Amino acid sequence: MKPWCEKYKAESIEDLAVDPSSLKKLMEIIDAKGVALIHGPTGSGKTSAIEMIAKEKDFELIEMNASDFRDSENIRRVIGGSLQQQSLFKRKKLILIDELNGISGREDRGGLLFLNKLLGKNKFPVIMTAEDPFTKKLAATRKKSKVIEFNAVETGRIVTVLKKVCEGENVPYEEDDLKTIARRVGGDIRGAINDLQVHSILGKIELAEEAEDNEREREGTILDALRLVFKSRKWENVSGVYNNLKEDHKEIMLWLEQNIPAEYSDEELYNAYMSLSKADIFNRRIMRWQHWRYLVYVYNLLSYGVAFSKKDNKKGFVPYKRSDRPLKIWLNNMKTMKRKSICDKLAGKMHSSKKGFVKKHLPYLKLMARNGRLPDLGLSPEEVEWLTK
Amino acid sequence: MEDSLKIWTEKYRPNKFSEVYGHKKIVKKVKAFVEKGNMPHLLLAGPAGIGKTTLSLVIAKELFGDNWRSNFLETNASDERGIDVIRNKIKDFARTKAVDTNLPKIIYLDECDSLTKEAQQALRRTMETYSGTARFVLSCNYSSKLIDPIQSRCAVFRFKPLLKEDIAELVDSIASAENLKVTDDAREALFDVSGGDVRRVVNTMQSCSVVGDTIDKEAVYEVNNFVKPKDLDIVLLMAIDGKFVEAREKLLKIMLNNGLSGMDIIKQIQSEILRLDLESEVKLKMIEKCGETEFRLVEGSDEFIQLEAMLASFGLFKK
């Protein structure tokens, strides 16, 4: 038996829950044998739209997705050839390169480069999809293609589809329940159908009050994670504690950095910061060698490392604070704009480098300004005021 | 009057060889080069604020007179230290002949020790190629940071900090020009805080003059205390005392206010530790941690986290 989301896949172009104007653009490009780059969130119907068009217009669909190796050699083999040759029985071809974001820098070396070379020479339409087309990596590809956006599917449309599924499966439904399901998935139509299947497994739709276990990717909060790491010394509690956070490892580090002293002191404090320090070194190594596996160790150090810096479990409620370091740095940058403009004006006149000026002249100027006797140096009133601060 | 001349370091900057304080031997030789109109490339090495820039400005002014600005290029290697500067700005200037004279132009490259190695290689070729139209005057704190081929192309002059009598002479001449009284112990103090750095002497005098017409010892020390506060000491002592949060707050403030990098901080901390009033064993342990932190700064990506780890480790040394 097929899962519902397969079973109730759209059967014609009209059935697709995709914005008609986007669809129209896509069709035009396919007819013109052009190159399109479709982007949009998960489940917005990027791939199904293309599959549907291929089916209806009787194209031979040649697809490469993230599960294929996509280095230059493989792209040449799969797509390069078919771009120029006629297919058997002279069927028209449609080339789909799915999930461009998934082309890896390491394993798929040269893949994008080779692909970019092919674009523009294609004799058949080439459609690519990407969740985020605006990364630097895809800049060249983006330039060679028409970019089409697929919006998240509207809640109303999802509800319509869900109704159809319910009717097909003989599931009694309340419209409100379907709306709730639709709203929770954030435009992911495939997810909505899957959710419906889960919630109606007992013959009728049963929704819990709030988001719960069987919802996908339930986002945890950083505060819960910090609490586990700081309070507990149980291996199981701490493992995978950062898995479902929207914060990345750098942000998690900032949170930890800010809040360690609130929980730990002395030896514990030192141990915890040592873990952070080591994690930071791995961060740099990741950047330098582009060896992302090191990230595992970063997370291990940030979870187990910090958790086992202490000897006993911690009790009591501690309100955790967001790191104010980025804010301070930003504020300071605003402030240093003035310093910079003063430097730019005066450093040259004093035959000094900017750095040298800050060290060797600026303190004295400040002192004179503070005593209200700064010589007139052609500075703006704001700059003079900055000096007195 | 030019705006910058209101700052005494510019107002009293010498314009002739005869006005330069100290460095008698060096000045004599350079003067001879200029008088013969045949000067080699020069490399001026020595600590900050003792007259390297001044001497090269004097060379230009003596060589070209009123036209000196159009035949003199001043570039600060620490602001623009990439290879592009050498390839574009300097080459463009060196390509053409000097205005109104057959003498070669002067290109003054300040703080050369911060040029990258690649830029130095480029500079080496440029020095040779344009030796017909330009002479280079390079200045640096440490000549060892320059690649050998550059050093070998230059006549090297090593500057030492000014002597006490030179500083005294300078102090007196400014004092009389500005109608200031300088007490005897203030004169001592000026030499003491400056360590032979003329720029510092002059800046201190101007800052003192803002407050009153008499400069005494207290005023001199006060001004320079203000300029170089012992903030980092306080950070270190707080850290040792286990006041981690205060220490890191203060450290971040110092870094941001003064625009210091982690590496700047670690260098200062290292020398501060040696001066702290603590038992030798503790200081030794701190130095060890400091070294480890410097290593991690180089290897890591977030400087502040590394510094925090160091502060945390200092907290363990208290009794």
Comparison of pLDDT for A273 and A162, the residue scoring more: A273
A175-184, A296-305, B58-67, B222-231 — which is least confidently predicted? B222-231
Where do the domains of chain A lie, and which CATH numbers do they carry?
18-149 (3.40.50.300), 153-207 (1.10.8.60), 210-323 (no CATH), 326-388 (no CATH)
Written out in words, the top-level CATH class of the domain with range B23-158 is alpha beta
Chain A interface mutation, best of B1, B2, B4, B10, highest count of A Cβ atoms under 10 Å: B4
**pLDDT mean values, one per 10 residues, chain B (319 residues):** 74 91 90 86 90 93 89 82 75 83 89 82 84 90 86 89 90 92 90 87 90 86 67 90 93 83 87 87 93 93 93 86
Contact A364 B227 (CB under 8 A): yes
- Find the residue in A nearest to B208 (Cα): A368
Query: pLDDT at position A210, please?
Result: 47
Cα-Cα-Cα-Cα dihedral sign, residues B281, B285, B290, B295: positive
In chain B, ranges of CATH 1.10.8.60 domains: 164-223
Query: pLDDT at position A212, please?
Result: 46
Least CB-CB distance to A329: which of B49, B256, B305?
B256
* Beta carbons of A116 and A141 less than 8 angstroms apart: yes
Comparison of pLDDT for A375 and A101, the residue scoring more: A375
pLDDT for A211 beyond 50: no
Local confidence band at A88 (pLDDT 50, 70, 90 cut-offs): low
**What ipTM, to 2 d.p.?**
0.70
pLDDT for A10 beyond 80: no
Which A residues in the span 274-303 are in contact with B, Cβ-Cβ below 8 Å? 274, 276-277, 280-281, 283-285, 287
Chain A interface mutation, best of B76, B231, B294, highest count of A Cβ atoms under 10 Å: B76
Comparison of pLDDT for B157 and A122, the residue scoring more: B157
| Mean local confidence (pLDDT), A367-371 | 86
**Range among A168-182, A290-304, A345-359, A369-383 with highest mean pLDDT value:** A290-304
Contact A354 B207 (CB under 8 A): no
- Find the residue in B nearest to A354 (Cα): B79
Amino acid at B277: D
Give A-chain residues touching B302 at CB under 8 angstroms: 250, 253, 280, 283
Select B229-318's CATH number: 1.10.1270.20, 1.20.272.10, 3.40.50.970, 3.40.50.1970.
1.20.272.10
Local confidence band at A214 (pLDDT 50, 70, 90 cut-offs): very low
- Å between A236 CA and nearest CA of chain B: 27
| Mean local confidence (pLDDT), A128-137 | 80
A24-28, A87-91, A342-346, B124-128 — which is least confidently predicted? A87-91
Contact B200 A360 (CB under 8 A): yes
Least CB-CB distance to B199: which of A328, A329, A360?
A360
Least CB-CB distance to A269: which of B111, B228, B312?
B312
| Mean local confidence (pLDDT), A303-314 | 91
pLDDT for A101 beyond 80: no
**Cα angle value A288/A293/A297 (rounded, 5°):** 95
In chain B, ranges of CATH 1.20.272.10 domains: 229-318
Chain B interface mutation, best of A367, A368, A387, highest count of B Cβ atoms under 10 Å: A367
Chain B contact for A350 (CB, 8 A cutoff): yes
- In the 8-state DSSP scheme, what is residue B83? H
Local confidence band at A299 (pLDDT 50, 70, 90 cut-offs): very high
| Mean local confidence (pLDDT), A252-268 | 93
Chain B contact for A256 (CB, 8 A cutoff): no
Query: What is the CATH number that goes with domain B164-223?
Result: 1.10.8.60
Instruction: Specify the long-range contacts of residues A84-93, CB closer than 8 Å, at least 24 apart.
Output: A84/A121, A84/A123, A87/A60, A91/A58, A91/A59, A91/A60, A92/A57, A92/A58, A92/A59, A92/A60, A92/A124, A93/A59, A93/A60, A93/A61, A93/A62, A93/A124
Comparison of pLDDT for A203 and B232, the residue scoring more: B232
pTM above 0.95, yes or no: no
pLDDT for A74 beyond 90: no
